[in-house]
Structures are given as structure tokens and as C-alpha cells.
Amino acid sequence: MAWYVDEGILSCVNTLVMRGTDVLDFRLFGYMDLESRTPLREDAIYRMHSNTKIVTSVAAMQLVEMGRLDLDAPVERYLPAFAHPRVLRADATEVSHADPAGGSIRVRHLLSHSAGLSYGFIEPDSLIDKAYAAAGINLFGGEELTLEELCDRLGSLPLVYEPGTNWRYSLATDVVARIVEVVSGQRFDDYLEEHIFRPLGMVDTAFHVSPEKVDRLVTMYAPTDLFNPMKPGLVKAEDPATGPYSRPRRFLSGGGGLVSTVADYLAFIRMIVNGGTWNGATLLKPETLALMRTNQLSAGVHVAFPMWAMPGTVFGLGFAIKQAVGAEEPLMARDEYHWGGMAGTHSWMAPNAGITGMCMTQRMPGFWHPFSHEFKAMAYRLAGRAS
């Protein structure tokens, strides 16, 4: 991992491996920022981006356990804006070319990204993503919406496919966050603080970084060549003191808004690996976590991105699941469940190998980057030798 820093491909990276809930190895490489070359701190704060989705999914499943949220309920029961969904026709050339959907979006469709929503930026030339932009749904600039405002706008737009029939990465987890607000009667950040962060002792996890902690926020960098992930060269993309995380946010994004530290996120992952209990607190039942690790997609449907290949991967309720291993992967990788963030914050749990891995950097984009695959491959090789 140090090689990636030395070569100028990453500004920093941390790695952590657990067996069960015991940390076997934790390493820090690189710098808080390349300008001052301050060494990376153990208590550094990272923009977690889509690792937030796992936290939001746990919050929703807590409400399911309480009997307050029904996975099979139509979403319009909680969010009326999603009543009477429409689906784009296959030959649509404008957003109005849509027909009534055959059924409602269900809550489990949102948690598994099979609802028919989109993200607005992954395929910017697609008809649906252009429609999102025209509706002011832009995660990388412009007006910052609240969760309620986002859902009202999403509800007015057509779906890409019939709910439950396909997979498309999307704003679905942000819709889940709004449902958590409606069902719980709390703001999303307040719910997370009371029901997840405080019980687990996650003292540095939030939707922004307070002034006294801003020196611990790692500087974000972007590559000089977006299309060659291994080409050296980084440019500063976001300053900790003036960037969007330096102040409270209107958009409490359940899909990508949290910042956290290794210690905080480790407590959260330990809870998951330990069957829902950690730090003397029980957040979920083991059977609920087992359901979250169970494929929710229709037969023959798999996780698919236009730019990243994930063969043999399906999706549960908040986790991607490795249903089949590739030619270069060990058999013990089967049933691995995982997800990561766009800036390079990855976590994966491997029940057949008995290990868990985390690695984090701040590179945009850094999801599905070779550094994380190499780290995982090394961890599996070491687990194989030790077993």
C-alpha cells in the first residue's frame, strides 16, 4: 500500500484486517495533505460517501424490527409523492414517454436498488439522468435539497424499469433515509445519533465536521487522469476548511453524507460481524442481519455498473453479496458482503474466511480502485495460509 502513496497514485491509505472482532493488523500510509505532508493520523476523519448506505440500511431495519416499517409496504404509504409511479418506455426519447407502472415501489426495492430510480450522474447522457438534472437533482453542485424536497422531485419523475425487475445504483437509499424520518418522527441525523452512533460510541461520525475537528479531516484529491486509475498525479479537489463538510448540511444524505473515522466505523462493522451487538448495545437481531445478507434481486438480475465489472454479485438489503467467485478469487470469498464509498472507503466481511477488511483513502474517484482489490487479495492470501 505504501507503493501507491510513493507513486503519487494515493495521498494516503489506511488498512485494517480483523478475524472475528479482533483487529489483527492496522496500518497508516501517507499524509493528511500533500501540501504540508502531515502524516496520516489514526483519528483522521474521512468522507465516507456510500459507506453511509450501510448505516442507513441498519437504521431502516431497526424500524422493521420494531414493527414500525414494513419491507413489503408500498413506498407511498410513507411518502405520498411516490404514488402512481410511471415507467419510461423502452423507446422513450423524452421524459414524458412513460406508462403507468404495473405496481408500487416496495421498501425492499429501495434497500436493494431495484426500485427503478437512478442517480443522476453515473450515466449523465441517459434520458433519466438528464431528467434528474433538469429537475435540480444534482449531488455535485447547485441547490442543496432536503430529504423531503428530494423525494418530492423524485416522485414526479418516471422510473427506469418496473419496480423489482432490475438493478440500478440510485438515490434509493436517500429515499430510505426520508422514510426513517417519517416513521420515527425524528430528523435523520438525530435518529442516527440516538439509535446507532451513541450506543456504539461513534463520537466523530456526523454529516459535517465541527470547527474543532476540521484539522482531522483528510484533504480530498483527484487524479490528473480520470480514465487511468494507475497513472501518478493528484490535484487538490476539496479543502477541509472551506469545503462542504465544514458546515451543517441541508441534505442529510442517507446515501452518501457521513464523515467518520477508522475507530468509529470499526465499531459499526464490529456490531455487524458480531450479530448486531457491540459496546454493550444490541442494534439488530442476528436473523435481521442474515436477511440483509440475502439476495433480494429477481432471478438472473445482478449488480451492474457501466464502468465497473462486478461479476457474480447480487444485492441484499444494504449489502452487495458475492454469490460466485471469479477465476482469480479464492473459494473462501464466496458470500462476502460489502460496499464502499466513491472517495475510496471500502469495507468487506467474509464469513467463509472468518475475516473482515477495511481500507480508506480520499481520492475522487476511488471506488473499485486497484489499491482496494490488491489489499483484499493480500488479506485473503494471508487468511488462507493461517487457516
- Output the DSSP codes for 17-81: EEETTEEEEEEEEEEEETTTTEEPPTT-BEE-GGGHHHHHHHHHHHHHHTTS--TTSBGGGT-GG
Rounded Cα gap, residues 256 and 318, in angstroms: 13
Among the candidates 132, 152, 184, a domain finishes at 184
Mark residue 158 as left, alpha or beta (left: phi above 0; alpha: psi -120 to 50; beta: remaining). beta
Q: Are 137 and 83 in contact (CB under 8 A)?
A: no
Instruction: Give the pLDDT confidence score for residue 326 in this predicted structure.
Output: 85
**Is 357 in the same domain as 324?**
yes
Q: Where are the alpha helices (DSSP H) in 147-243?
A: 147-155, 172-184, 188-192, 198-200
Rounded Cα gap, residues 208 and 176, in angstroms: 20
> 149 in a domain, yes or no?
yes
C-alpha cell at 97: 414517454
Q: How would you label 180-197 residue by residue, b for 16+ Cβ within 10 Å and e otherwise? A: bbebbeeebbebbbebbb
> 53 in a domain, yes or no?
no
Instruction: List, for residues 110-141, the tens digit of each pLDDT value.
Output: 999 999 999 998 898 999 999 999 999 988 77
Question: Which domain range does residue 277 map to?
Answer: 2-48+188-386
Please state the rounded mean pLDDT for residues 127-156.
92
Please state the rounded mean pLDDT for residues 314-333.
93
**Is 349 in the same domain as 285?**
yes
C-alpha cell at 6: 510513493
Rounded Cα gap, residues 339 and 368, in angstroms: 10
Collapse the DSSP code of 122 into the 3-class scheme (helix H, G, I; strand E, B; otherwise coil) and give the result. coil
Among the candidates 167, 184, 201, a domain finishes at 184
Of residues 227 and 54, more confidence is placed in 54
**Is 121 in the same domain as 234?**
no
Q: Are 181 and 188 in contact (CB under 8 A)?
A: yes
Phi and psi, residue 173, nearest 5°: -70, -25
Instruction: Give the pLDDT confidence score for residue 122 in this predicted structure.
Output: 87
Of residues 317 and 310, more confidence is placed in 317
Please state the rounded mean pLDDT for residues 81-102.
96
Instruction: Give the pLDDT confidence score for residue 387 in this predicted structure.
Output: 57
Nearest to 384 by CA among 337, 331, 346: 331
Instruction: Give the pLDDT confidence score for residue 309 in this predicted structure.
Output: 79
> 30 in a domain, yes or no?
yes
**Is 356 in the same domain as 247?**
yes
User: Per the confidence metrics, is the pTM higher than 0.95?
Assistant: yes
**Is 6 in the same domain as 110?**
no
Instruction: Give the pLDDT confidence score for residue 319 in this predicted structure.
Output: 97
Domain count, the chain: 2
Instruction: List, for residues 12-53, the tens digit of each pLDDT value.
Output: 999 999 999 999 999 999 999 999 999 999 999 999 999 999
Q: Are 59 and 195 in contact (CB under 8 A)?
A: yes
Among the candidates 184, 202, 218, a domain finishes at 184
Instruction: Give the pLDDT confidence score for residue 317 in this predicted structure.
Output: 98
Distances (CA, A) of 159 to 73, 169, 256, 259, 295: 18, 13, 21, 30, 22
**Is 89 in the same domain as 120?**
yes
Q: Are 196 and 284 in contact (CB under 8 A)?
A: no
Rounded Cα gap, residues 114 and 334, in angstroms: 22
Q: Are 335 and 312 in contact (CB under 8 A)?
A: no
**Is 346 in the same domain as 232?**
yes
- Return the amino acid letter for 287: E
**Is 202 in the same domain as 274?**
yes
Using pLDDT thresholds of 50, 70 and 90, give the confidence band for residue 386: low
**Cis ω before 365 (30° cut-off from 0):** yes
> 55 in a domain, yes or no?
no
**Is 208 in the same domain as 293?**
yes
Residue 86 has pLDDT above 70, yes or no: yes
Instruction: Give the pLDDT confidence score for residue 142 in this predicted structure.
Output: 67
Q: Which residues have C-beta within 8 Å of that of residue 266, sequence separation ≥ 6?
A: 16, 23, 358
**Is 173 in the same domain as 262?**
no
**Is 78 in the same domain as 171?**
yes
Please state the rounded mean pLDDT for residues 285-299.
98
**Is 197 in the same domain as 245?**
yes
CATH number at residue 150: 3.40.710.10
Residue 383 has pLDDT above 90, yes or no: no
Instruction: Give the pLDDT confidence score for residue 227 in this predicted structure.
Output: 87
